[in-house]
Structure 1
Amino acid sequence: MANNPAFNRLEKDARAGYAGFRTGGQGGAGAAGASHAANDQLSARQLEDMYSAPSAVRQGTDRVVTMDDVVMKTLGLFAVVLVLATVGWGIAAALPGLGFMVAMGGMIATLVLGLVIAFKKTLSVPLIVGYAVVEGLFVGAISQLFAVSFDPPGTPAFQGIVAQAVLATGATFAGMLFAYKVGLIKVTAKFRRIVTMMVFGYAIFALVNFGYAMFTSTPFGFGGTGALGIGISLFAVGLAAVTLALDFDSIEYAIKTGAPQKYSWLLAHGLIVTIVWLYLEFLRLIARLRSE
């Protein structure tokens, strides 16, 4: 549930000009990054300058990241998540006890792998793909457990909690992309800092809440299925949705500053993480509403 891990690395590497990059005849993002490498962080003005600067070009024949790269990597990782989610669902349906273990183990594994990917000095594609595999198993298993717990017997698949959460996630993604593209949502440096702090704050709350729910056997943890619990879920859904705008902005930032093509994996990973987080929060919200 952490913020997109791509942006912090992109900002840091952009300030260093992306190792091995040079700019075209008019300067560009690489030179802008190198000239400010001594600064601890970019000012809002510097960030805007980097956005408006021409893209850097790679020395030699290596390519820089493009929108097509990000789209293809995102679709590829999403396909991995879907395939493994089917496996996780099947395991949970056939062996509920094992399915619960897959869900809990997958949650812990995604947390650990996510931190490794975010803080590893070098970008590792196998780690990103491995994260998608584990995440898929986790999502499939937890989805099946939610369906068994909150779908009345005989509920058609298209009316089930999973279908509703998927539909809500897709609609929210489309709405946020539209709002970002037409300028209804503008991601500034201040906006990003505020949302990032809120995300990390909610991540800490979620871990504490999980422990509280496990040790007290309280459904959903703090707030339960009452008004407070529903309010918490609505806040989480809104926060995940706003984080999508940060992900869209990170993708544009990488393209504008001439990030290496390999960064498309990191950007795709960040986007998938946010989409899955949004889906899981919708699952919790609908489950709480059905429990009223």
Structure 2
Amino acid sequence: MAEMRSSNPVFSRRGFAGRSTPSSGYYGPGAPGGYAPPGGGAPPTPTPEQLAGLYRAPSGLTVDDVVVHTLGLFAVMAVTGAVGWAIAPTTPAVGFTAMFAALALSLVISFGRRLRPALIVLFAALEGLFVGAVSRFYEDAFHGIVLQALLGTAVVFVAMLVAYRSRRLRATERMARVVYGSLLGVVMLGLTDLVIRAVSGSHLPIINDASPLGILFSLAVLVVASLQFILDFDYIERAIAAGAPRSEAWRAGFGLLVGFVWVYLEMLRLLSKLRA
């Protein structure tokens, strides 16, 4: 089977190819060649060795695999998020340290040659610490904003899923370039803002100010971040169709986690500007 390529850098991995269907010589129901041998006639009775080979063949990726692994990663993030929320007032440095560690780890996961589930779980834990600390900061400033942002993120996720399933939005190379170029730009702006705050105590107005331009900027970034889900859904659909190994559920869960966190943080930023 041809190598399955993804326009999503989070999901691209060297050497990944769809799972090949085992060639066992069995032409019965469910066999790759159909219901009869190439020469016609009654299907031959499979030998015990052929049946054992079919049962030992690795099963492919399913939607259930993606759901289970994604929920597991979100559970890890929720647990460490509660820790980040609790310690944020007294040790705010933990959240920022977790942010930089998660950023570095995401690059290792995205561009590494091998899939390492342990690193993905660690990434979810670090994201939880960071998101929990940031959420506590916003909640202390704007009561109820965290719940609003969570509900808003859930609405965006469902809307993108409906748009994808109805084929109103499809993943393209151009969309991938826009989404990940914007993600890189937002990260660089955020790091620049942190440096400016540390050096001069000032900040970048377009990121933090509740001006019309600042609100428009946050809205535009939120729209682009929402398209991350379209790229995720596209990868999952094509990975399942290509018979990808079940371990790819970890990569799919990682991509969905990245998209959820990005949309959630942009939702927090936009709501805070609207309520300022």
Q: Same fold (TM over 0.5)?
A: yes
1:131 aligns with 2:120: no
Matched with 1:169 is: 153
Q: What amino acid sits opposite 1:191 in the alignment?
A: M
**Cα distance change on mapping 1:132 and 1:112 into 2, 3 Å:** same
2:114 paired residue number:
122
Could you tell me which of 67, 70, 77 is aligned with 2:66?
A: 70
Residue 256 of structure 1 and its aligned partner are, at CA, apart by: 1.5
**Among 235, 245, 248, which residue is 2:230 paired with?**
245
**CA distance in structure 2 between the partners assigned to 1:143 and 1:269 by the alignment:** 21
Q: TM-score, normalised by structure 1?
A: 0.75
* 1:112 to 1:268, Cα distance in 2 relative to 1, 3 A: same
The residue identity in structure 2 corresponding to 1:134 is: L
Which position in structure 1 is the counterpart of 2:196? 212
Q: Could you say if the C-alpha distance between residues 220 and 90 of structure 1 is closer, same or farther in structure 2, counting changes exceeding 3 Å?
A: farther
Give 1:59 deviation, angstroms: 10
Q: Deviations over 1:253-282 (max 9, x none)?
A: 211122111110011011011101100111
Deviation at 1:126, TM superposition (A): 0.7
Give the conservation status (yes or no) of the 8 Å contact 1:169–1:282: yes
State the one-letter code of the partner of 2:191: L
Distance 1:216 1:229 in 2: 21
User: C-alpha displacement at 1:188, in angstroms?
Assistant: 2.8
Q: From the superposition, tell whether residues 275 and 249 of structure 1 become closer, same or farther in structure 2 (CA, over 3 Å).
A: same
Distance, in Å, in 1 between the alignment partners of 2:59 and 2:197 is: 48
Deviation at residue 87 of structure 1 after TM alignment? 1.4
Q: TM-score, normalised by structure 2?
A: 0.79
What is residue 45 of structure 1 aligned with on the other side?
Answer: none
Amino acid corresponding to residue 90 of structure 1 in structure 2: A
> In structure 1, what is the equivalent of residue 247 of structure 2?
262
Q: 1:179 to 1:150 in 2, by over 3 A?
A: same
Unpaired stretches in structure 2, ≥5 consecutive residues: 1-6, 24-31, 34-53
Which is richer in helix?
A: 1
| Higher mean C-alpha deviation, range 80-89 or range 218-227 | 218-227
Given that 1:5 and 1:270 are in contact with CA atoms closer than 8 Å, whether structure 2 keeps it comes out as no
Query: Counterpart of 1:21 in 2: which secondary structure?
Result: coil
Residues in 1 aligned to 2:204 and 2:266: alpha-carbon distance in whole angstroms: 11
How far residue 198 of structure 1 moved from its aligned partner, in angstroms, is 3.4
Structure 1, residues 114-158: CA drift from partner, whole Å, max 9, x if none? 11111221111111101111111111111001111233xxxxxxx
- Cα deviation code 1:80-127 (max 9, x no counterpart): 1111111111112xxx240x1121111111101111111221111111
Compared with structure 1, are the counterparts of its residues 238 and 212 closer, same or farther at alpha carbon in structure 2 (3 Å cutoff)? Answer: farther
Distance change in 2, residues 1:206/1:257 (3 Å): farther
SS of aligned partner of 1:222? helix
Distance 1:161 1:89, change over 3 A: same
2: distance between equivalents of 1:209 and 1:232?
15
- 1:86 pairs with 2:82: yes
What is the Cα-based RMSD across aligned positions, in Å? 2.4
| 1:168 to 1:193, Cα distance in 2 relative to 1, 3 A | same
Say if 1:166 and 1:184 are closer, same or farther in 2 by CA, change over 3 A.
same
The one-letter code matched in structure 1 to 2:20 is F
Q: 1:6 & 1:122 partners in 2: Cα distance?
A: 13
CA distance 1:106–1:220, shift in 2 (3 Å):
farther
C-alpha distance in structure 1 between counterparts of 2:118 and 2:229, whole Å: 24
Match of 1:189 among 152, 167, 173: 173
Counterpart CA distance in 2 for 1:246 and 1:279 is: 17
The size of the alignment, in residue pairs, is 241
Extract unaligned runs of 5+ from structure 1: 27-57, 152-159
Which aligned pairs between 1:1-292 and structure 2 lie closer than 5 A? Answer: 5-9=9-13, 12-14=14-16, 17-18=17-18, 21-22=20-21, 25=32, 60-92=56-88, 96-98=89-91, 100-151=92-143, 160-218=144-202, 221-222=205-206, 224-291=209-276
